[in-house]
Amino acid sequence: MRRFDHLNATSIQEATSALKNKSAVFIAGGTDLIGRLKDEILPGYPELIVNLKTIQGLDYVHEEGGLLKIGAGTRLADIAADPIVRLRYTALGQAAGRAASPHIRRMGTLGGNISQLHRCWYFRAPQNRFECLRKGGKTCFALAGDNRYHSIFGAVNGCIAVHPSDTAPSLVALDARIKTTKRTIIAEDFWDVRVASCTVLDTDEIVTEVQIPAPDVGARSAFVKFALRKSIDFPIVNAAVFVGGGAARICLNAVAPKPYRATKAEQVIAGKSIDSRNTGAAGAAAAADSRPLEANRYKVQIAKVLVERALLECASAA
């Protein structure tokens, strides 16, 4: 690991100001960033790391004004353990409790989890071994290489890496808003595929809060994840669903460069009884637009089944 300067920011203003004169990055839990720095996966290296965890007031979970408000610095373990989240925003609680490992959940924050960079073993190869599209190169090495874990819904800006966040699909399913130092973004619009970035955030923009509208009485949500290991493993596919008020919101992740909202599946299941016939149809609809590669065709089947199972879990919880 190379040397860098470190700043414990005490305010948002101090944190953003620190970016003006140096190449700098923000750090919260650091569970993604530190690995990236150790492996030197990107061509550049920050001169300064600005610690956001020392800013007071970014760590909270409470309901207010018809919204669940979660500070961006709230740790995943705290979200997973929060009784209100578990009861009323179940998909998020399940996702936060299934991410990474107990150790990492006690370090990693919600803001960091949704802002983590894509998973692609070419993009993340140590020492910037593959100068891919996401690093300003001209080639997606995964497209011709080993893409067993990559997108089944095609590329975005030429990249087929997947976004691996477990909490992200839950936030989309729960129709969350991401509040930043500059604006409030609909969760579904938060992610993007750009050079060395996976969100629409400007380099000096910081997520401060996540807001989720309180669900109607009787609404249900669920999150399911498929990974090769039961702990400390990124999803091969995950899925979050919300059903309530005659509507449904369904989002998959790790299947595309951005969390994938399965609107066709939503249309199939909205207002209908959640039974195996309808959930099966919804699962099929969720994967209807998939365009898998030879090595990741299996993910299509898993995506279908996960949508089906997440919906059935909502039914069983009702």
Partner 1 sequence: MASKMPEKPDHQKFRVVGKRGVPGSLSYPIATGRAKYPRDLVFPDMLFARVLRSPFARAKIQRIDTSQAEALDGVKAVITWDDPELRAMPMPYPASKTPVLSNQAGREGDEVGVMVAAESEELCDEALKRIKIEWEVLPHILDPREALDPDAPVLHPEAKPSNVDLVNNWEDGNVVAGFQECDHVVEFDYAAPLTTTFHSMPLTIISKWEQDPMDSEGPILYTPPLYRDKGLAVAREAFQLPWAQVRPITLYVGASYCDSDPRRVSRLVPLLAKRTGRPVRLAYTRREVFDVAGSQVYAHVKVGFNNDGIILAAHGKTIASSGVESDIERSTTDLAAFRMTKALHIKNETTYVYTNTARGAYLRGFPASSDLLARAIHSIAEQLNQDPTETLLKNMHTPEPSVKECLEKGKAAIGWKWHPAGTRKLANGRMHGMGFRMRDSHGWGSTTAISLKLKTDGKVYMPFGSAYFGVFGQDALAMVVAEEVGARLEDVVVQMDPVAPFSFIVGGSGIGSTAYAAQQAAIDLKAKIMAAGAANLKVKPEQVDTKESTVYLKADPSKTVPFKSLVSDAVGQLGSLNSLWQGPTPTRYDGTLRKLGPVNIIFGEVEVDTEIGQVEVTQMIGVADAGKVLRPSSFEGQLEGCMVWTISKAKTEDYIFDKATGVLLNGSTLEYKPATILDIPAMQTITVETRTGGGVYGSTGAGENFWDQSVISSAVFNAIGKWIDNPITPDKVLKALGKA
Which residues here bind partner 1, judged by CB under 8 A?
1-3, 101, 121-122, 125-127, 129-130, 141, 144-146, 148, 226, 228-234, 236, 295-298, 300-302, 305-306
Burial letters for 252-279: b for 16+ Cβ neighbours within 10 Å, e otherwise? bbbbbbbbbbbebbbebbeeeebeeebb
Min separation Cβ 302 and partner 1, Å: 5
Q: What are phi and psi of 179, to 5 degrees?
A: -95, 130
Min separation Cβ 180 and partner 1, Å: 29
Distance between CA atoms of 215 and 222, rounded to whole angstroms?
13
Between 19 and 77, CB nearer to partner 1 = 77
Between 56 and 127, CB nearer to partner 1 = 127
Min separation Cβ 296 and partner 1, Å: 8
> How many CB atoms are located within 10 Å of the residue 131 CB?
15
Residue with tokens 């925003």: 89
Between 141 and 191, CB nearer to partner 1 = 141
Min separation Cβ 230 and partner 1, Å: 4
* H or E element, residue 315: helix 298-317
Between 6 and 298, CB nearer to partner 1 = 298
Between 214 and 227, CB nearer to partner 1 = 227
Q: In what order do the strands lie in the sheet containing 177-180?
A: 61-64, 67-71, 207-213, 177-180, 184-186
Min separation Cβ 220 and partner 1, Å: 22
Radius of gyration of the chain, Cα coordinates, nearest whole angstrom: 19
Q: For residue 30, give the DSSP letter.
A: -
